[in-house]
Amino acid sequence: MSVQARVAEWPKAAGLRPAPEGVRGFKSLPSHHTVTYSRLRMDPATTATRALAGHDGLRETEDGYCYDQTSFAAVATVESATLAVTVRMPALAAVVEGSVGDAVAAGWYETLCRRLEDVDQALSVGSAAITPRTRSTPETVTVTYEIDLQTPERAGDDVVAVAQFVEGTYLQGVVPGYAYTDPVRSMLQQASAAAGSDDIDPGRGGTPL
């Protein structure tokens, strides 16, 4: 191949495209490279993961990014375009001294599930972008929120908001008249001190907040 032919083939080998007719030189990169770079730079999952890793209140664990500054820890993971936040809390019977009737336990759980669905009040996205999934055992209740990454840069703040929302919602559902063990006893003590009120009996629940 002649020198002229090799020079003519060089731009193609380098992945460059000829300039439009009448314009000298070559474009630096083909357009599809630019589009691919833009997509990588704006990838929601990458942005959300960086937001979680860079948040002061979260720490990375084997299960995901954990926020443990509330009574019930929240663990977050990022999958594709979804932020999943899971919070585990004790069932009513697990924190009451003595027995709890089946009707009371069922009513408590049903009310808790319904209240937990209102998490959009605490987040930066609407309810249509959130899928709550609640499951229970005799000892625990676990809620997982699958949140569309509409605002991935706020992922860390959303995890904190979920943890605080779940804690407050659980405390609102404390049934009065029972003697409670920790962590509910401690939660009631903190709530009573913060409110400066004697309406809440730290040992028996008092009036739900």
117-140: pLDDT as tens digits: 999 999 989 999 999 999 999 999
- Residue 162 pLDDT more than 70? yes
Mean pLDDT of 30-51: 67
Mean pLDDT of 35-51: 73
What does the alpha-carbon distance between residue 179 and residue 63 come to, in Å, rounded to a whole number? 34
- Residue 46 pLDDT more than 70? yes
What does the alpha-carbon distance between residue 2 and residue 177 come to, in Å, rounded to a whole number? 96
Domain boundaries for CATH 3.30.1460.10 within the chain: 44-173
What's the CATH architecture for 44-173? 2-Layer Sandwich (3.30)
Q: Is the peptide bond before 183 cis (omega within 30 degrees of 0)?
A: yes
pTM for this predicted structure? 0.76
63-113: pLDDT as tens digits: 999 999 999 999 999 998 999 999 999 999 999 999 999 999 999 999 999
Angle at 69 between CA 67 and CA 72, to 5 degrees: 75
